[in-house]
Chains A and B, each alone.
Chain A
Amino acid sequence: MRVMAQVAMVMNLDKCIGCHTCSVTCKQTWTNREGVEYVWFNNVETKPGVGYPKRYEDQERWRGGWQLDARGRLKLRAGGRVKRLLNLFANPDLPDLDDYYEPATYDYDTLINAPAGPHTPVIRPKSAITGQDMAITWGANWEDDLGGAPEHAPADPNLAAMAEKVKLEFDKTFMFHLPRICEHCLNPACVAACPSGAMYKREEDGIVLVDQNRCRGWRMCVSSCPYKKVYVNHKTGKAEKCTFCFPRIEAGQPTVCAETCVGRLRYIGLILYDADAVLDAARAADPRDLLEAQRGVFLDPDDPAVVDAARASGISDDWIAAAQRSPIYRLAMRYRVALPLHPEYRTLPMVWYIPPLSPVLDAVTGVGADADDPDNVFHAITDLRIPLEYLASLFSAGDTEVVAGVLMKLSAMRAYMRARTVDGTVATDLLEPAGMAASDMEEMYRLLAIAKYDERYVVPAAHREDAAALAAQADGCSLDGDGGPGMSGFHPSGVTGRRGDGRLGLKLFIGKGTAS
């Protein structure tokens, strides 16, 4: 057993109001630069919907993630090593800008500079890529709240897999929001596909990063990530991705998206796992076994044997203590209400989701029944095939029983707590079908409904002795420079400096204001 620690996230989808605050604060922090205008490390998409980039879940087309070959071995879906090296010259699986969207800006100066005249001046959208006039026809969340869904949503790959067709008329449908960041997978396809070895998973906390100094722009990671969470910076020609806000995590703070989440629906904590068991788990023959296989990789931080093994692997006591308080472990393993997104991609993702009950509740209300009566909801969960199948294709490789089980627990918790607080009774009859003890039920309620900041985010700081070593060793950061995500004004001394796109140039030739 080789114990490693991983910072992981769980999002409770019932609480997401689709406000995009997380996306905006993330963009302000990491991608408000030239070259990554179209990039959203955190995006929120409405489901059902085609997603961002369009139809990214269609792995027949984009060939992301892993699959098993005829002999049951794990292979990147994009093909073997030789084949992918031959595809270096042109990657057949790479989405292009139009699969994301063409970013736009406006000629705001017109408002100030327009000559006096009878009409109010108007601004027109200009492409941020070419500078030319453009019509805005798509965006990262074009189908927000199902806008345009009757036209576009049938292209959602999850719908295509369903037997019954979802009705997308306004009053007969269901919807929910799905915020997505990089999954910081245990078996990351992006890292495996990077020909330069520039991408890596950090041993200490499992965060997956791109070494900007070693990336050579082969763009294999972009297509091999099944979640399409690595992007090409078209100015620097290098790959960039969600960093799990590692500078904040090292300081013991939650990510920006979690910190600013309006719905307070994000949880961050540690998972201890057995690194030696990862590959076997990813090899489970039936995709529907992948969820349990991945759970089998996680280690119980309260088990003394695990604690000993963790210490032997160099994990410090404060980290072990943090793992024991981890909200992620509780949600995924103890209460078992959190599920991975698309486990069938076999990357063992580490951002998990509590599936939303709202599609079912909406359906119950839709037929005029009382959504507060647990019996109605229980029946709806098993009878309403459509939302269930849809959720299952997202969170359990199509296994509706898994999703139904989680939804049962969530609605049992609602009914149980309603009885507790409104009637003052303990509805023991609700505990057994949910398979939970009264204390667990109440603790889960507490965590999901009213948990405070330091219960939702249990992030142990990186060790100070490490930080000192880090500071002593660093004489510049690859994220710095005008083209890099750091932008903290690092400029190589001497006769050279960085241009706006991160290229090096003689200072003589660099325009004003880009290098000092």
Chain B
Amino acid sequence: MTVALWAVVPYIALTIFVVGHVWRWRVDQFGWTSRTSQVLESRLLRLGSPLFHLGAFAAIGGHVLGLLVPKTWTEAAGVDEHLYHLVSVSAGTVAGLMVVAGLALLLARRLTNPRIRRATTRADKVLFTVLAAVILLGMTATVGQNLLGGGYDYRATIAVWFRGVLTFHPDPGLMADVPLIFQAHALSAWLLAAIWPFTRLVHVWSAPIAYLWRPYVVYRRRTARPAPARPFEREGASRR
């Protein structure tokens, strides 16, 4: 059972995640979008969406710090357990509250606004359910255990196991005695990874960072035909 949950499930999820993305990228460029609904409703979105996204960035940053950076590194950098705990719990709580508040607003507009409700697809419903589960379980873990409860040093168990999964040396035993709430959070996150490529979440990978240095006006040739003395160097080249 331990092996099934903590060594098999992660790889199934990761396989679906990777293969799913490759498949979707290749066959469905037309469906690859954030599917914005701001035109249909913008009042709640203008508050909810930035809260959710910025909170999510902070939370993801926190997870990278907590899961991928080994404890020994932070200690070598002079951050002791107490300081780490203080920072991670306070920042994590703030980020979590932002995410929860943002998600609540976004869900409220999906449920109460008839325009948005009608534009909600089956994939959206699955996505919102799983996302809400991941977030609420994560918040319960952070607030319940680490802020109000005695605290749990996930960096000694979960983080080591997670790095093991990513480096193909999984040690499922590490997860056996982890508190239930953390286990549930981790499992729901694998589920999220597995449905990811089939939802609008794919827009995350299209974050348009290249825009920062691209020339403003993009020119493209209609065809790939080689022409005498073409004005531009190559197809798709963009110039000011």
A residues near B (Cβ < 8 Å) are 2, 4, 81-82, 85, 88-92, 94-97, 129-132, 187-188, 191-192, 194-197, 199-205, 212-219, 222, 232, 234-238, 250, 275, 279, 312-314, 462, 465-466, 469-470, 473, 478, 481, 483-484, 492, 496, 498, 502-504
13 contacts between A and B (CB under 8 A): A82-B212, A85-B208, A89-B49, A90-B46, A197-B208, A200-B220, A216-B32, A217-B33, A217-B203, A236-B33, A314-B231, A462-B222, A504-B31
**Are A312 and B229 in contact, CB atoms less than 8 angstroms apart?**
yes
Q: How large is the interface on B (under 10, 10 to 19, 20 to 34, 35 or more residues)?
A: 35 or more
Find residues 179-205 in chain B having any chain A CB closer than 8 Å to their own CB.
200, 203
Tell me if B's interface is mostly helix, strand, loop or mixed: loop
The residues in B between 189 and 235 inclusive whose CB is less than 8 angstroms from any CB of A are 200, 203, 206, 208-212, 214, 216-225, 227-232
With A89-B50, A234-B40 as known contacts, state yes or no: A199 contacts B218, CB within 8 Å. yes
Q: Which of A132, A473, A478 contacts B224 (CB 8 A)?
A: A473
Select which of A188, A213, A314 is within 8 A of B217 by beta carbon.
A188
Q: Which residues of the partner chain A approach B228 to less than 8 Å between Cβ atoms? A: 314
Bound CA–CA A219/B46 (angstroms): 14
Within 8 Å CB of B52, what residues of A?
89
Contacts of B45 in A (CB 8 A): 90
Report the minimum CB–CB distance from A260 to chain B (whole Å): 25
Q: Which of B29, B39, B47, B218 contacts A197 (CB 8 A)?
A: B218
Query: A204 to B220, alpha carbons, bound, how many Å?
Result: 9
Answer yes or no: B171 CB below 8 A from chain A CBs.
no
Additional A-B contacts beyond A130-B117, A503-B31 (14; CB < 8 A): A81-B211, A85-B208, A89-B52, A90-B50, A96-B41, A97-B39, A129-B118, A203-B232, A205-B222, A216-B32, A234-B39, A236-B31, A236-B33, A279-B240
Given A200-B218, A216-B34, A314-B228, answer yes or no on A234-B119 (Cβ-Cβ < 8 Å): yes
Any A CB within 8 A of the CB of B28: yes
Least CB distance, A346 to chain B, in whole angstroms: 12
The answer to whether B220 touches A202 (Cβ under 8 A) is: yes
Contacting residues, chain B, for A203 (C-beta < 8 A): 219-222, 231-232
Report A69 CB to chain B, min CB distance, Å.
14
Of A194, A205, A483, the residue contacting B30 (CB under 8 A) is: A483
Question: How far is it, in angstroms, between the C-alpha of A38 and the C-alpha of B238 when the chains are bound?
Answer: 32
Residues of B close to A478: CB separation below 8 A: 29-30
Q: Closest CB-CB distance, B97 to chain A, in whole Å?
A: 17
Residue contact A197 to B214, C-beta cutoff 8 Å: yes
Partner pick for A195 among B31, B32, B208, CB 8 A cutoff: B208
When distances are taken between beta carbons in the complex, the residues of chain A under 8 Å from B30 are 212-213, 236, 238, 478, 481, 483-484, 498, 502, 504
Which of B28, B35, B53, B222 touches A504 (beta carbons < 8 Å)? B28
Q: Is B125 an interface residue (CB 8 A)?
A: no
Contact A130 to B118, CB < 8 A, known contacts A89-B49, A96-B39, A234-B39: yes
Interface centre among B24, B33, B49, B229 (most CB of A within 10 A): B33
